[in-house]
Amino acid sequence: MPKDYVDEYEPLLIKDSNSSKFPSKLLLLAMFATCIGGTFQCGYNISVINAPTKYVQDFINITWMQRYQTSISETGLTLLWSTIVSIFTLGGFIGVLIGTTLSVKLGRRGTLLSNNTFSITAALLMGLSASAGSFELLIIGRLLCGINAGIALCVEPMYLGEIAPTALRGAMGMGTSIFLTVGIFLGQVMGLKEILGREEYWALLLSTTCVPAFLQLLFLPWFPESPRYLLIDKGDDEGCKKALIQLHGVEASDGALQDIQREKNNLVGFQAKKPWELFADRSVRWQLLTIILLNAAQQLNGVNAMYFYTHYVFQQSGIPTDKIPYATVGTGACECITALTCGLLIERLGRKVLIAGGYVLMSVCCVLFTLTLALQDVSPVFPYLSVACVFAFVLSFGLGPGGVTNILTTELFTQTARPAAFMIAGSVNWLSFFFIGLVFPFIVIGLQHYCFLVFFVVCSSVAVYILLAVPETKNKSFVEIQLEFQSSYKRKTSSSDEAETLIKSTSL
């Protein structure tokens, strides 16, 4: 390795990041700089909108009266409030569609930095909405927050997966889930009345989303672009070497460079693929099916329904109504702790054990929660068992499905296919999010607490699929994972051909 690179980055070097079980301080700082303006903001904006619900609705009422000298109808108020909340999902879908294209043109880091424009603009619009007397600014602001979240959820896992050593790729990838849950938790905390949850502060509360954006703009420029992007997409050998030395150290950078070079040689003549090209490529059929199922299941597994029932369950267990927000914050704290635990375990137990185990535990919780809800009036102990099921379900989700899904989306594809794969996975995820938000109220009306039997079918089916069809990816390079899927596909194809030949010969 050239001496001038070593001299320049001597203070940042670590002996061998691949030999360590945990990321170095530098990689942890890179994770913080990446996630604080990415999935942290996404989680924060998902939860922070809940606290000021009544205040925003009162603001819409007053604004409507000032404009039209008449009160807004109940249906109109519900429609406007639903639009403010749900347009975040539409923004997320738009963000996914433009995020993967930007990640190829601007690079992973460049896209993340540019993405903060949406967040800062959104914060400005939402902060000014009250003084301007315009609920339209709230709608536009929430749309921009959604675009920011869509881009972040698409590009951030790519960047973390590409800067991490192979042995630490899972631990680094868990940063996405950890910061998402921390964002949800802090959004709940900031919405408490003791902080910014009072009526006069609701616009300020929504505008605080700019703080993590400024933090990312402050810290992320100190870290390099993705080495894989520099070498494979841009052909920048020198830039790739400098980035690897800064991120991994001198000794580990040589092995990492060889791994990237092998992947580049394997992709000679290939351009970055479009989503429709992935659907036509038989060699990635099983990978594509896997990420579609996992991303759909991440939203359709019932975790959002469980949060919907928390208020009722906590009330039944005897918690005073004014104390329920604090109990809800407790569920957010549990999810944070579980995501952190998953980050510590993922390189020891592997991806397959955690995500399959998580879905198995969630299946069990669905059955038990259905039973405890049905028996609420039989004994005073059942409401407390329902509370235990809520926490167990949330913990099971955070242990595997909540964090491992994005890591697998990164690992199952090589460099040229990864952006398109994230576009497909992200689109499925956001559309499923929108679908469950639209359909779930009708499921509850029709099935009541038996709706969790539907989620039992989803969780158990996904668990079986993972156990049968998804290989372990721990400590494997992207090329090795690709070859394993291809060999598995060839075995299944040859078995199918042999069976067809046998049937034809038997019929003859």
Does CATH number 1.20.1250.20 belong to domain 277-488? yes
> What are the CA-CA distances from residue 207 to residues 114, 145, 202, 326 (Å)?
19, 11, 9, 22
Q: 273-278 contacts: CB < 8 A, separation 24 or more?
A: 273/416, 273/417, 273/419, 273/420, 274/420, 275/420, 275/423, 275/424, 277/420, 278/417, 278/420, 278/421, 278/424
- Determine the distance from the C-alpha atom of residue 306 to the mean position of all C-alpha atoms in its chain, rounded to a whole number: 18
Q: Rounded to an integer, what distance in angstroms lies between the CA atom of residue 355 and that of residue 400?
A: 4
What is the pLDDT at residue 433? 85
Lookup result for tokens 């927000």? 325
Q: What CATH number labels 23-223?
A: 1.20.1250.20
- In sequence order, the 6+-apart residues with CB closer than 8 A to the CB of 186 are 44
Share of the chain above pLDDT 70, in %: 90
- With bands split at pLDDT 50, 70 and 90, how would you rate the model's confidence at 269? low
Q: Rounded to an integer, what distance in angstroms lies between the CA atom of residue 369 and that of residue 382?
A: 10
CB 348: neighbour CB atoms within 10 A? 12
The rounded mean pLDDT for the chain is 86
- In sequence order, the 6+-apart residues with CB closer than 8 A to the CB of 130 are 59, 202, 203
Contact 231, 237 (CB under 8 A): yes
What is the pLDDT at residue 226? 94
Lowest average pLDDT, out of 11-15, 328-332, 333-337, 341-345, goes to 11-15
SS3 22: coil
Reference 338, options 155, 487, 503, 182; nearest CA is: 182
Domain boundaries of the chain, sorted by first residue: 23-223, 277-488
Dmax over CA atoms of the chain, in Å, equals 85
- With bands split at pLDDT 50, 70 and 90, how would you rate the model's confidence at 228? very high
Q: The pTM is what?
A: 0.84
What is the pLDDT at residue 331? 82
Confidence check: pLDDT of 491 > 80: no
Reference 385, options 368, 360, 367, 364; nearest CA is: 368
Residues 313-331 have pLDDT tens digits of 787 777 787 888 888 888 8
Residues 95-141 have pLDDT tens digits of 999 998 899 899 999 999 999 999 999 999 999 999 999 999 999 99
Over range 90-98, report the average pLDDT: 93
CB 386: neighbour CB atoms within 10 A? 24
What is the pLDDT at residue 503? 46
Residues 398-420 have pLDDT tens digits of 888 988 998 898 889 888 888 88
End-to-end Cα separation, the chain, in angstroms? 66
Whether 23-223 shares its CATH topology with 277-488 is answered yes
